[in-house]
């Protein structure tokens, strides 16, 4: 399926680019989220009329993301979880957990999908986590996973 991108999409293209994508990706992700239009002759004409407005909107979103990135710069989230004596976590830490921690610490509301988890967190420790605020704006935040003190739980 060929689509016209209305927003920049990482590893795909910039607003206005006509790209070929898998049918499922286009139908289930790009089109419902209004990130792209089918590349039909009619839609291309409509896009050309609205090109300036779409590009301005994308620039505004990027600038807004840059402001949020400044708020998150240097922020560190501490999550306390149950863990074994050797530091292995009993549960897991998800993007939703990190997003909630960022809301509590920095007052920034994020979707769990904006937290880029390259690996699973299986132990207590310090980690760097990438946050994708916009296809062109990413920021790293600190994550510290600590263990619940078992003595205080049983008291």
Angle, to 10 degrees, between the axis of helix 95-106 and the axis of helix 41-72? 60
Q: What is the pLDDT of residue 155?
A: 45
Q: What is the pLDDT of residue 55?
A: 85
For residue 116, give both structure tokens. Answer: 């880029």
**Helix, strand, coil content of the chain in percent (nearest 5):** 40, 30, 30
Q: Which helix (H) or strand (E) holds 154?
A: helix 150-154
**Mean pLDDT in each 10-residue stretch from start to end of the chain (155 residues)?**
89 90 94 93 90 88 93 93 90 92 92 89 92 91 87 49
Which domain, by its residues, includes 59?
2-70
| Domain count across the chain | 2
Is residue 44 domain-shared with residue 102, that is, in the same domain? no
CATH number at 33 reads 3.40.5.10
Is residue 82 domain-shared with residue 138, that is, in the same domain? yes
Is residue 14 domain-shared with residue 48, that is, in the same domain? yes
Q: What is the pLDDT of residue 79?
A: 93
Q: What is the pLDDT of residue 151?
A: 54
CATH number at 138 reads 3.10.430.100
């Amino acid at each position: 399926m060929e689509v016209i991108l209305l927003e920049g999409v990482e590893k795909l293209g910039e607003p206005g680019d006509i790209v070929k994508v898998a049918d499922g990706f286009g139908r289930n992700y790009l089109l419902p989220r209004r990130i792209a239009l089918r590349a039909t002759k009619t839609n291309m004409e409509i896009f050309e009329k609205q090109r300036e407005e779409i590009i301005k909107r994308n620039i505004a979103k990027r600038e807004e993301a840059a402001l949020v990135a400044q708020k998150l710069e240097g922020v560190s989230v501490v999550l306390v979880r149950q863990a074994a004596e050797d530091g292995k976590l009993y549960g897991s830490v998800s993007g939703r957990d990190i997003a909630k921690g960022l809301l509590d610490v920095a007052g920034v509301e994020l979707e769990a999908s904006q937290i880029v988890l390259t690996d699973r967190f299986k132990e207590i420790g310090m980690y760097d986590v990438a946050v994708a605020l916009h296809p062109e704006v990413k920021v790293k935040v600190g994550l510290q996973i600590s263990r619940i003190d078992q003595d205080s739980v049983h008291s």
